[in-house]
Structure 1
């Protein structure tokens, strides 16, 4: 591969679209664009192909801004290019004694100043990826809580941390049951500083909830074979929610919405005091759950959090983000994240923000029909069914049963949390989709 630094410029073209030509004699690449045919995902795919040809680049942003107008704004093109470049150049978390040398380098030229807001978004995605890649012996539930609280304090956010004893005192019994073996359960509550919890005026109160299981053995219903591999990623929902909230704080919260983040964080381990199959546990909201499978623990910590968001925080809308089911991968493969929502308006806005962000999402049915298999003779619900058919939609229906009448959105990201470029051109699938759903500053999403 040529070790020179190449200059990448864009030119408008009606004959060629998303094609590039490398001129080795001039160390230059020309990227042709028909702005009338642009979409973020196709643009990202072809830019990445171009970058892979050479290790070191100077990208002339001004030429891309000119060639992409009016379909992409200058903000759009900078966001897309910096997202693509960051995903391409990034080194994964590594603990090798002799680390691999990364020769990839990109410099942006042609503009006076890069956007700090976009940098904060890119940094937010990087934080999610870094947390997900950390080995579980280095990112326990207590360590994860400490890291989030430290960043929240730096951003002058209102951050409450409730440990196992406090959760037990307040009867978050489902969360406590998951982490009871090591008393490893926590709940983080993130709010804007001086958030007005009583008077919403015309603002919606949106509560974001992220599943944070720092490692999942399955508990006494232990995972076998290779099914325990990569369970360090089972905290990706909490990582996404925490990082999105912190990025919103850096860039400025929307005046339309009051955002609150709930992060139930725990570890599902095996031990003498682990949660037992056949146990019946009364949730924070009062509904009882028979434990038929201790490996269906994510929905338990989310259920208590949903009840709290509904009853105590009086949410207008509840959004859950979780690596929740293996079933979603059988339904959608590794490209589309599953989405369930009770609101047509919310779905329309999600479609818009995902298309803008280059993320793939697919709506699945939210229907009480799926609760039939969770009926129990001794409790309100079982936490798992004997059949795996419809498992992802059943988990979503289970969660929805713990809310009141609020609008509800659920993302199951179990199939996309550890994919490289299949479901998103950024580092963290759905980061930008949720960010721009909550903060619709971009012209296309007004």
Structure 2
């Protein structure tokens, strides 16, 4: 999709789209038409009533410069959110593709929030992300996407907004495209190659492989990965565009390219979805790609521990005791609680190697998170109120929703082991998301840290809320959230 702008005097287009508030008698920003066309528009407005997501198409004479008008309902004004225009723009883009149009135009309405050019960003993000489709392995491809023209007032200066919004949307799409890959096409080595491809002299890329992982004391990554012929990797990307002595932000993402559960084998039902257990790492890749392209004047480090968790003669076992990178020992009671082991190594490494001012990790860590919060909200657990507040603020702006869960000493006590420093599961099914975070907290000494459990939101599931810009499959959750946080630093 190519994106350009035109002022309101330019009306030549295959499809001119305007937004309509519920029970409103006008289309926001729509130019004047002849009496006959105006009557048809007014009748369509009465029929559709501006209901959220409802679309109405009005064909015009072939001789006119505008071939069709599309009216798009955005619901009641008091119910508008930062996601409304994004959601409806996505539906418009999908309709334009369905009509096999080469281009379409959307009239940018006034901003409904106190953010300059926010509607422009929402139009671009919604349109681009909604047109993404994972058809890599289909014989018949989706075809080319229609180009978008955003109709704006003459005085609007939005070139920077457009460029930024495209990069952010492409970062999320990049994350989706990797996360959707099947396990036979995406191993830890494949992820390492993706990291190399996006660095291209813009970022420093380092890959730590076996046996160096064992030699350097990455006991968690080595243990989880040893059951697979696809060897584990620790992927590190460094974007050093801030002041030389400024401490970086470290982003850590769990990337289990496929999770069978290991010796503690998962049930067969829906095990195919465990290709999405790499989504945390894919999120970090998408963020780092965008950070580099935006040339943010910051120091940002992305760390991705990547393994394939398989049962086999070399697999780690329930009952094993392993030594993590932090120097602490962990008793293994369930080999399906593997994500916290590889994340612990990466978190400790990130803190010791970079002395960061903040660490943020992403992981499809616990099914308990889905039980607690469902499939539309991610869990946040943190040791720092200020950092959590900033993440919450970015969550509200991007509508990638999060909810904070507590972490006190009672939860820390639940993972104490009688034979090691800690055990890799808590007590029964109680507080599964929090006890997993408690395990991670043992890897952090003093750095402000936020853990984001994306198990419910990383891909579309049966109870996932419909969002036009999140077609079936991986959602890219976290990319827009953290890019908003980083840009505001």
Which TM-score bucket, shorter chain as reference?
Answer: 0.7 to 0.9
User: What is the alpha-carbon distance in structure 2 between the residues aligned to residue 21 and residue 285 of structure 1?
Assistant: 56
- Cα shift at 1:53: 5.7
User: What is the alpha-carbon distance in structure 2 between the residues aligned to residue 142 and residue 384 of structure 1?
Assistant: 29
- Cα shift at 1:72: 4.7
Contact kept? 1:93, 1:134, Cα under 8 Å = no
**Residue 422 in 1 paired to residue 465 in 2?**
yes
**Residue 212 in 1 paired to residue 255 in 2?**
yes
- Does the C-alpha gap of structure 1 residues 47 and 246 become closer, same or farther in structure 2, counting only changes over 3 Å? closer
13-22 vs 112-121, which moves further: 13-22
- Does the C-alpha gap of structure 1 residues 172 and 25 become closer, same or farther in structure 2, counting only changes over 3 Å? closer
Aligned counterpart, 2:481: 433
Structure 1: any 5+ residue segments left out of the alignment?
Answer: 442-446
**Residue 83 in 1 paired to residue 83 in 2?**
no
**Residue 163 in 1 paired to residue 197 in 2?**
no
- Cα shift at 1:167: 1.0
Alignment of 1:13-412 (within 5 A): 15=24, 19=51, 22-26=56-60, 27-31=68-72, 38-48=80-90, 55-56=98-99, 59-61=104-106, 63-65=107-109, 67-68=110-111, 71-74=114-117, 76-97=118-139, 99=140, 101=142, 105=146, 107-110=148-151, 115-152=162-199, 154-181=200-227, 182=229, 184-193=231-240, 199-200=245-246, 204-255=247-298, 258-412=299-453
Aligned counterpart, 1:444: none
Contact kept? 1:157, 1:193, Cα under 8 Å = yes
User: What is the alpha-carbon distance in structure 2 between the residues aligned to residue 233 and residue 385 of structure 1?
Assistant: 24
Aligned counterpart, 2:10: none
Count the aligned residue pairs.
Answer: 427
Structure 2: any 5+ residue segments left out of the alignment?
Answer: 1-12, 29-49, 61-67, 153-157
Corresponding residue SS for 2:419:
coil
Corresponding residue SS for 1:246:
helix
User: What is the alpha-carbon distance in structure 1 between the residues aligned to residue 19 and residue 319 of structure 2?
Assistant: 63
Contact kept? 1:354, 1:430, Cα under 8 Å = no
Corresponding residue SS for 1:301:
helix
User: What is the alpha-carbon distance in structure 1 between the residues aligned to residue 91 and residue 381 of structure 2?
Assistant: 33
Larger radius of gyration: 2
- Cα shift at 1:316: 2.0
Contact kept? 2:263, 2:315, Cα under 8 Å = yes
425-434 vs 385-394, which moves further: 425-434
123-132 vs 109-118, which moves further: 109-118
Alignment TM-score, normalising by the size of structure 1: 0.87
Per-residue Cα deviation, 1:54-108 (whole angstroms, up to 9, x for no partner): 63465545x315x33674532x2222112211232222234233x2656974522
User: What is the alpha-carbon distance in structure 2 between the residues aligned to residue 332 and residue 326 of structure 1?
Assistant: 10
Corresponding residue SS for 2:337:
coil
- Does the C-alpha gap of structure 1 residues 433 and 70 become closer, same or farther in structure 2, counting only changes over 3 Å? closer
Contact kept? 1:210, 1:237, Cα under 8 Å = yes
Corresponding residue SS for 1:415:
coil
Contact kept? 1:335, 1:423, Cα under 8 Å = no
User: What is the alpha-carbon distance in structure 2 between the residues aligned to residue 93 and residue 386 of structure 1?
Assistant: 43
Contact kept? 2:256, 2:307, Cα under 8 Å = yes
Contact kept? 2:283, 2:477, Cα under 8 Å = no
User: What is the alpha-carbon distance in structure 2 between the residues aligned to residue 90 and residue 70 of structure 1?
Assistant: 27
- Does the C-alpha gap of structure 1 residues 93 and 141 become closer, same or farther in structure 2, counting only changes over 3 Å? farther
Per-residue Cα deviation, 1:379-425 (whole angstroms, up to 9, x for no partner): 00010134112100111111011100111100101111112773865
User: What is the alpha-carbon distance in structure 2 between the residues aligned to residue 232 and residue 438 of structure 1?
Assistant: 28
User: What is the alpha-carbon distance in structure 2 between the residues aligned to residue 264 and residue 293 of structure 1?
Assistant: 19
What is the root-mean-square deviation of aligned Cα atoms in Å?
2.9
User: What is the alpha-carbon distance in structure 1 between the residues aligned to residue 404 and residue 373 of structure 2?
Assistant: 10
Contact kept? 1:206, 1:318, Cα under 8 Å = yes
Per-residue Cα deviation, 1:37-64 (whole angstroms, up to 9, x for no partner): 6421233344445556663465545x31
- Cα shift at 1:216: 0.6
Corresponding residue SS for 2:205:
strand
User: What is the alpha-carbon distance in structure 1 between the residues aligned to residue 338 and residue 71 of structure 2?
Assistant: 52
